[in-house]
Chain A
């Protein structure tokens, strides 16, 4: 369910769709992403955008905008963009939210760094999809056993009795 690709860089999803209807001849539609429009210095509310012209340029290979020389002051790399949701890493840094699961793959190395900062590690060790009921029962059993030890240690015998009953109800019958 992807939107169309930007006709200029052919990488990012198009976020702007401009149709030019000339007095004569057929209408032209340009699908572009905001980065490309910005790189070309085009602002929607400032002037009419010469859609047919841009399309011609793009078709003849004259204006593959992403490769076009950028202003020297702009040092930010026109880095990777998620090909599914269009997220750029800078956008993630601003919001601290990912746009889709694919971002984790596209930016894997950077994600690893961020996760190490937050969680001291970048590797999952817990449950996986499809883990069966036995795993859940084991989890519950282990946790109950710990609670039972603590209850006995702290001489909460009523709690201990209840926990022991729950534990024995988890054991297979017979």
Chain B
């Protein structure tokens, strides 16, 4: 496994360009919540007991999976390193804060993450590039089946998999797709789409999940219902909804380009100007401008920088990534300078 320092300098493998849907779909993910039978659920206050139990789970899971990836106690990482993992969508905000009893397993290509002692004893997470909900589901279920050989999960014939929070009970499954929806936002159609989602028992959140802001028009659309539907049904209905949103975004892009091409060009070239010239860049400004460059690239307004560079900056321009990769980025003014510098360098490197 690469060190977190190495990770912080590269975008994850599952984030790789626009191979489908013109960059509208970034990634698909599945999360399964599981608890060990006969153990009390995780408490607000972490206890020595939970740490001991967590350590044993970690050891047994490593054995069952013949694990070669990273597997460590959260307190063996610095907080900023755990934040790097969060910025890469590998662990939750809650797990970053979970210092004493939490454990984290991440495989080499960052497509599987297993969080121990998050809100539930075990959270299995699988991530796949693009619109590949089925692929992520299959990997998560494979891991689940393997871990099942080490512990009996808390399961009830009527209620299904039992979880700490009743919103996760049943399948324990959350399926999510990360989308970039700048044209829907620009044409003011987005609010309508988001309202429609709740009627379908789906929800849209900012890219770091619950409570995070949808900066740069990146949204994670996911199911809310976890009970009364099979895993495949949840994946299917999410896929169906996402396909419609993608279609809607692509139509909005076309109509935006027909009616207001000059506006899009103006915003894209301004974004280019800011990112290639700025000497200080906040992370919000970076995401906002990267959003325009992505739209510019998808609509053919620009053909440079490439998708790989934009993905790289989207991930590695975040606060914790910069801090871990650059000693001078520890304080916020220094960080904005470092951010502007790596963005400038990345853009010059790819300019024709």
Q: Which residues of A contact B (CB under 8 A)?
A: 84-85, 96-101, 104-105, 108, 111-112, 114-115, 118-133, 136-140, 142-144, 146-147, 150, 154, 156, 159, 166
Q: Which residue of A lies closest to B148 (CB)?
A: A129
Within 8 A of A (CB), among B205-263: 225-232, 235-236, 239-240, 243, 247
Q: How far is the CA of A154 from the CA of B133 in the complex (A)?
A: 18
Are B137 and A119 in contact, CB atoms less than 8 angstroms apart? no
The listed residue (A108, A123, A133, A137) touching B228 by CB distance below 8 A is A123
A-B contact pairs, 10 of them (CB 8 A): A97-B164, A101-B37, A118-B227, A126-B231, A128-B160, A129-B155, A136-B142, A139-B141, A139-B232, A142-B236
In the bound complex, do residue A126 and residue B230 qualify as a contact, i.e. CB atoms below 8 Å apart?
yes
| In the complex, the 3 A-B pairs of residues with the closest C-beta atoms, listed nearest first | A124-B160, A143-B134, A121-B228
User: Is the Cβ of A150 less than 8 Å from the Cβ of B165?
Assistant: no
B227→A96 contact, CB < 8 A: no
B67 beta carbon closer than 8 Å to chain A: no
Contact mask for chain B residues 192-203; partner A; CB cutoff 8 A; 1 contact, 0 none: 000000000000
Residues of B near any A CB (own CB < 8 A): 20, 35, 37-41, 43, 131, 133-135, 137-138, 141-142, 145, 148, 152-167, 169-171, 173, 225-232, 235-236, 239-240, 243, 247
- By the criterion CB–CB under 8 Å, are A96 and B165 in contact? yes
Q: Are A127 and B148 in contact, with the CB atoms below 8 A?
A: no
Chain A: CB-nearest residue to B171: A126
A136 to B232: give the CA distance in the assembly, Å. Answer: 9
Tell whether A139 pairs with B40 under 8 Å between CB atoms, given A111-B166, A118-B166. no
Contacting pair A125 B230 (CB below 8 A): yes
Across the interface, do B227 and A139 meet the contact criterion of CB distance under 8 Å? no
A124 touches B158 (CB 8 A): yes
A142–B229 Cα distance when bound, in Å, is 15
Which chain B residues lie closer than 8 Å to A126 at the CB level?
Answer: 160, 170-171, 173, 229-231
